[in-house]
């Protein structure tokens, strides 16, 4: 039964990568692990309550989704101040343009897409402005600094980070966006990462594959039997 | 590939993504106070919201007349106090210096559709450097001593 469910989801994932609403690992995990509503379902409910006049529901929506938006935006290599600006712009855009959201259930995907778009735009403008200084330097993700600065990071995370940080920037970005975005719009991610849409599934698999190879070469226990 | 393999791969991917989420949350955590700043920024933007009204306790709602004129307004709800000092600038605009005796997370001055945003500085000070003369209203979100966030707005006043 479970296997059948996974099977259908896998098919849905791999065959509709160019559509909004493709099932992702986060969805599957949340619905398999617990009967609690997924994050995007809670987001949809709060958004509807806000639209119906319950102004405080927006506070809860902001609290629920800001961590996700932070990680999605940081995947684009923006420094902390720029990333915060982008997260804020995303929220203000929601308040100003919420009437254009025809499907309230899609609010979570709408937010992450808006954040990715804005992060991409800001990142591009910033890189252009800095082009003369950074051209010759290796592409640089601020997350690396944070990782090094965080002395108290627990052991497993630090070890895993050592491997993830060895992946190329594009893989790191893709994996981080997919990890945090429950309903990625693969067409948009592909455009942002300058990859053909058809390759996003394979690219994701390639990035995951590389990571697994790194983990296994160091004797990291397989992650198959968890969950 | 058969169904079991699909399922196993998919579960394995899900598990690895979950580990990566945990990892990024640890190695690059969201700043602790970011969420509160976002809640406040959205609150002052949300016109559908009901704000508690601060009332004018001192000063006049009449506009500043010219460069030598200044106005000082004090608003309060009995707990939270906001002081505004309005001066005319050389180019005919208005400068509004303010002070609030609570920890402000977002401060905004509105005139119809136009808005200006100020950052709360040291000791509750904030300033709008250049505002057009006109009927204005101040909205702010503060955190009280009890840790609760509260939204306020002033009555309309002229700057």
Residue B89 has pLDDT above 50, yes or no: yes
Residue A225 has pLDDT above 50, yes or no: no
Q: Out of A122-126, A170-174, B16-20, B120-124, which region has the weakest mean confidence (pLDDT)?
A: B120-124
Question: Cβ–Cβ of B41/A88 closer than 8 Å?
Answer: yes
Write down the pLDDT at residue A188.
58
Residues B35-74 pLDDT 10s: 999 999 999 888 778 889 999 998 877 777 766 778 899 9
Does the structure's ipTM exceed the value 0.85? no
Residues A132-157 pLDDT 10s: 444 433 344 444 445 444 544 567 88
Of B112, B115, B82, give the one whose Cα is nearest residue B97: B82
Sorted by where each begins, the domain ranges of chain B are 34-158
Mean pLDDT of chain A: 74
B41 touches chain A (CB under 8 A): yes
pLDDT above 90 coverage of chain A, percent: 38
Q: Out of A66-80, A187-201, B20-34, B90-104, which region has the weakest mean confidence (pLDDT)?
A: A187-201
Looking at the complex, report in whole angstroms how far the Cα of residue A107 sits from the nearest Cα belonging to chain B: 16
CATH number given to B34-158: 2.60.40
Highest-confidence segment of A22-26, A41-45, A136-140: A41-45
Determine the average pLDDT of the residues in B15-32: 91
pLDDT above 70 coverage of chain A, percent: 61
A53 touches chain B (CB under 8 A): yes
Strand partners for B73: B84
Q: Considering only alpha carbons, which residue of chain B is nearest residue A98?
A: B46
Question: Cβ–Cβ of A161/B34 closer than 8 Å?
Answer: no
User: Which residues of A are less than 8 Å from B19 in CB distance?
Assistant: 156, 160, 223
CB A154 within 8 A of CB B29: no
CB A83 within 8 A of CB A15: no
pLDDT grade for B133, boundaries at 50, 70 and 90: very high
Token pair belonging to A15? 């065959």
Question: Cβ–Cβ of B31/A158 closer than 8 Å?
Answer: no
Mean pLDDT of chain B: 87
**Gyration radius of chain B over CA positions:** 23
Q: What span, in angstroms and rounded, lies between the C-alpha atoms of A2 and B18?
A: 19
B42 touches chain A (CB under 8 A): yes
Look up tokens 């000070």; give the residue: B125
Label each residue of B54-123 as H, E or C. CEEEECCCCCCCCCCCEEEEEEECCCCEEEEEEEECCCCCEEEEEEECCEEEEEEEEECCEEEEECCCHH
CB A181 within 8 A of CB B17: no
């Amino acid at each position: 039964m479970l296997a059948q469910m996974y099977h259908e989801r896998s098919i849905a994932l791999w065959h509709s990568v160019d559509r909004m609403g493709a099932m992702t690992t986060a969805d599957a995990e949340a619905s398999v692990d617990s009967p609690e509503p997924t994050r995007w379902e809670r987001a949809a409910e709060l958004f509807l309550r806000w639209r119906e006049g319950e102004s405080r529901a927006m506070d809860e929506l902001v609290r629920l989704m800001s961590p996700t938006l932070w990680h999605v935006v940081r995947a684009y290599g923006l420094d902390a101040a720029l990333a915060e600006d982008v997260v804020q712009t995303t929220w203000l855009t929601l308040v100003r343009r919420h009437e254009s959201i025809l499907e309230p259930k899609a609010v979570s995907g709408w937010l992450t897409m808006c954040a990715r778009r804005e992060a991409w735009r800001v990142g591009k403008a910033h890189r252009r402005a800095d082009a003369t200084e950074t051209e010759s330097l290796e592409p640089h993700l601020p997350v690396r600094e944070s990782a090094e600065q965080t002395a108290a990071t627990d052991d497993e995370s630090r070890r895993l980070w050592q491997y993830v940080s060895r992946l190329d920037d594009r893989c790191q970005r893709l994996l981080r966006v997919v990890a945090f975005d429950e309903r990625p719009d693969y067409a948009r991610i592909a455009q942002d990462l300058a990859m053909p849409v058809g390759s996003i599934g394979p690219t994701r698999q390639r990035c995951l594959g590389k990571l697994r190879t790194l983990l296994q070469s160091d004797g990291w226990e397989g992650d198959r039997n968890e969950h | 590939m058969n169904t079991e393999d699909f399922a196993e791969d998919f579960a394995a991917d899900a598990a690895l993504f979950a580990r990566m989420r945990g990892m990024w949350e640890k190695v690059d955590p969201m700043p602790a106070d970011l969420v509160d700043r976002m809640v406040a920024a959205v609150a002052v933007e949300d016109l559908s919201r009901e704000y508690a009204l601060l009332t004018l306790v001192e000063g006049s709602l009449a506009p500043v007349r010219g460069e030598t004129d200044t106005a000082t307004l004090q608003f309060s709800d009995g707990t939270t106090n906001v002081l505004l000092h309005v001066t005319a600038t050389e180019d005919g605009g208005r400068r509004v210096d303010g002070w609030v005796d609570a920890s402000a997370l977002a401060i905004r001055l509105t005139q119809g559709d136009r808005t200006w945003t100020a950052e709360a500085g040291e000791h509750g000070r904030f300033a709008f450097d250049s505002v057009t003369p006109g009927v204005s209203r101040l909205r702010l979100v503060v955190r009280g001593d009890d840790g609760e966030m509260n939204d306020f707005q002033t009555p309309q006043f002229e700057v």
